[in-house]
Amino acid sequence: MPFYDNLFFRTKNKLKIKFDIRKRNNLHFLLKHYFSNESKYFKVGIIGSGPSALYCCKHFLKNDNIKVDIFDKLPNPYGLIRYGVAPDHISVKNIYKTFNPVLLNKEKYRFFGNVNIGIDIQIEDLRNYYNAVIFCCGASESSLPKEEIYKKENGIFHAKDLIYFYNNFYDDLRCKSIDTYLNTYENFSNSIIIGNGNVSLDIARILIKSYDDLIKTDINFNYLNIIKRHNFKHIYIIGRRGFWQSSFTNSELRELFSLKDTKVILDKKNYDLCFEIKNYDETNKMKQRQNKLFLDMVHNYEQMKKNPTLYDKYKIIQFIFYHEIRNIHNINNHLKEIQLGLNKDIYSSQNNHTNNKNSYDINNQKINIKTPLLIFATGFKKDNFSLNFYNKSVDKYKDDILNKKFAIFKAGWFQTGAKGNIASHIINTKQNTTEILNFLNTTTIYYENDITELLKRKKVHFVSMDQWNYIQSLEKNNGEQNGRCAQKFAKVKDILHILSDKRNE
């Protein structure tokens, strides 16, 4: 064990350098740079500016010989943090502040918003300016069963459509569609959400909360007006599997119990079915704690069964497991009857437990619910444009990649698929940046040219971090004037128009 952990020395230009003796790979990489090319930098380009991109940047902070340019097709950074996190989760949204050491470090990091890689500039351009490129494009495309059929149905949406709507992202066409639909009809009293993950819980919570509960957040004001018009009293959360196999986190489930004038319920027979099909880890401590929460839901259900008048007093969030949609019957322009049946995949498992007195009648078990709003929270996938662009880029420069002259990486959900939460990106991106450092340790190529000149030649009106900070300050001021934490601009063209006017002042 050494008597010291860090080594300090100064370069010729009096730059003080600190090395962590315990991190030998990092030490080797830094020594190689400072003793051979003291004034030169490796350059990395990142496509996307969501959590994975910014965590990559945070991991690079310790390496003074790397400069990073961050590109996003939107004028703003933060990605999922801005447009994916529920508005009432203000503490989660404020995680963007933890990236200030990155985005305010103008010597190492630059943000180029409103630059669509693959359209405004190509991989050939990036190849001439950067040692490595990281794809952090996320996974924002809807994963919707029978997508082409359901998209033509009135009142059937993917979770993304509603999330973009209440998070004020009007550049998405489906966001406009759900806005129009909810404004066309009156008095929606219930909704069905398909999905066994936290996205379902977020949507249920936002639908069930009142205008007063949400007014202080940065939620879309148009959505707040809709809340006044509709009175969602009963939200059904339907899962094809049981709660043991769900992706719910306990903190999100507990949050449902804290909702004002709301009961969270689960039918005792449905709860028993989850135990009847024993494909779960009984030793999982987190799931054991979760089981207690679902027992509380069963208790609530039994109370309401004994006293049906409670349904008039409380709003209801009801879980139904091991069920799937069998049929959708349109009653009128907005109301439809959804027929649910037991998940066909569990028939064999169910038949193994036919002696259990709690067993469902497989052939006759049907649930019919009339609702004007059906939402599929069935996951997200990579968008085809980004995926094709990545594959073509790797194929085009496969020889350079093989010969360590250039590198293309991917990180975050673009690498792993849409799973985990924001914090899960920390470990993933740490591994990614280690691989990138290992690659840079093999190269002696340095790029001193500046992509800003190329963007200007191509007349790409990019948004800098200073410009975005100005927009963000306007959003905050607009919100504070109305007693809210912020009031976001809804359209990219509005943001660009404001910045254009400011440049012309």
Domain with residue 407: its CATH number is 3.40.50.720
- Mark whether 216 and 339 lie in a shared domain: yes
Would you say residue 3 lies in a domain?
Answer: no
Determine contact, residues 379/143, Cβ cutoff 8 Å. yes
* Radius of gyration of the chain from its Cα atoms, rounded to whole angstroms: 26
pLDDT over 70 at 434, yes or no:
yes
Would you say residue 98 lies in a domain?
Answer: yes
* Counted domains in the chain: 3
Report pLDDT for 204. 98
Say which CATH number the domain at 281 has: 3.50.50.60
What is the percentage of the chain residues whose pLDDT exceeds 70?
A: 86
Would you say residue 496 lies in a domain?
Answer: yes
- Mark whether 186 and 270 lie in a shared domain: yes
Would you say residue 409 lies in a domain?
Answer: yes
Determine contact, residues 209/251, Cβ cutoff 8 Å. no
Mean pLDDT of 247-271: 96
Length of the chain: 505
Q: How confident is the model at residue 1 (pLDDT cuts 50, 70, 90)?
A: very low
Determine contact, residues 234/190, Cβ cutoff 8 Å. yes
Dihedral of CA 260/266/268/274: which sign?
negative
- Mark whether 234 and 282 lie in a shared domain: yes
CA distance 132 to 62: 18
CB neighbourhood size of 110 (10 A):
19
CA distance 170 to 167: 9
Beta bridge partners of 329: 337
**Separation in Å, CA 300 to CA 252, 269, 296:** 18, 14, 6
CA distance 208 to 206: 6
Note down the domain range covering 265: 142-380
CA distance 326 to 340: 5
Non-local CB neighbours of 312 within 8 Å, separated by 6+ positions: none
Q: How confident is the model at residue 361 (pLDDT cuts 50, 70, 90)?
A: low
Beta bridge partners of 8: 18
Q: How confident is the model at residue 352 (pLDDT cuts 50, 70, 90)?
A: low
Report pLDDT for 150. 62
Non-local CB neighbours of 487 within 8 Å, separated by 6+ positions: 218, 221, 475, 478, 479
Would you say residue 167 lies in a domain?
Answer: yes
Helix (H) or strand (E) holding 341: strand 336-342
pTM for the full predicted model? 0.87
- Mark whether 282 and 374 lie in a shared domain: yes
pLDDT in tens, 168-218: 998 887 888 899 999 988 789 999 999 999 999 999 999 999 999 999 999
Would you say residue 445 lies in a domain?
Answer: yes
Q: Residue holding tokens 């050494």? A: 2
- Mark whether 178 and 324 lie in a shared domain: yes
Nearest Cα residue to 214 out of 167, 273, 265, 157: 167
> CA torsion 150→335→264→305, rounded to 10°?
-130
Domain boundary among 380, 411, 436: 380
* Token duo for residue 328: 């959708």
Determine contact, residues 10/16, Cβ cutoff 8 Å. yes
- Mark whether 222 and 335 lie in a shared domain: yes
Domain boundary among 440, 456, 472: 456
- Mark whether 336 and 416 lie in a shared domain: no
Report pLDDT for 139. 84
- Mark whether 482 and 351 lie in a shared domain: no
Q: How confident is the model at residue 392 (pLDDT cuts 50, 70, 90)?
A: very high
Domain boundary among 362, 380, 398: 380
Q: Supply φ then ψ for residue 283, to 5 degrees.
A: -90, -5
Helix (H) or strand (E) holding 67: strand 66-72
- Mark whether 98 and 161 lie in a shared domain: no
CA distance 114 to 168: 18
3-state secondary structure of 351: helix
Non-local CB neighbours of 157 within 8 Å, separated by 6+ positions: 174, 177, 178, 181, 373, 374, 375, 376
- Mark whether 344 and 228 lie in a shared domain: yes
- Mark whether 244 and 326 lie in a shared domain: yes
Would you say residue 4 lies in a domain?
Answer: no
Mean pLDDT of 20-46: 63
pLDDT over 90 at 31, yes or no:
no
Determine contact, residues 411/56, Cβ cutoff 8 Å. yes
Report pLDDT for 145. 66
Would you say residue 15 lies in a domain?
Answer: no
- Mark whether 263 and 238 lie in a shared domain: yes
What is the percentage of the chain residues whose pLDDT exceeds 90?
A: 64
CA distance 317 to 321: 13
Q: How confident is the model at residue 146 (pLDDT cuts 50, 70, 90)?
A: low
Mean pLDDT of 470-492: 94
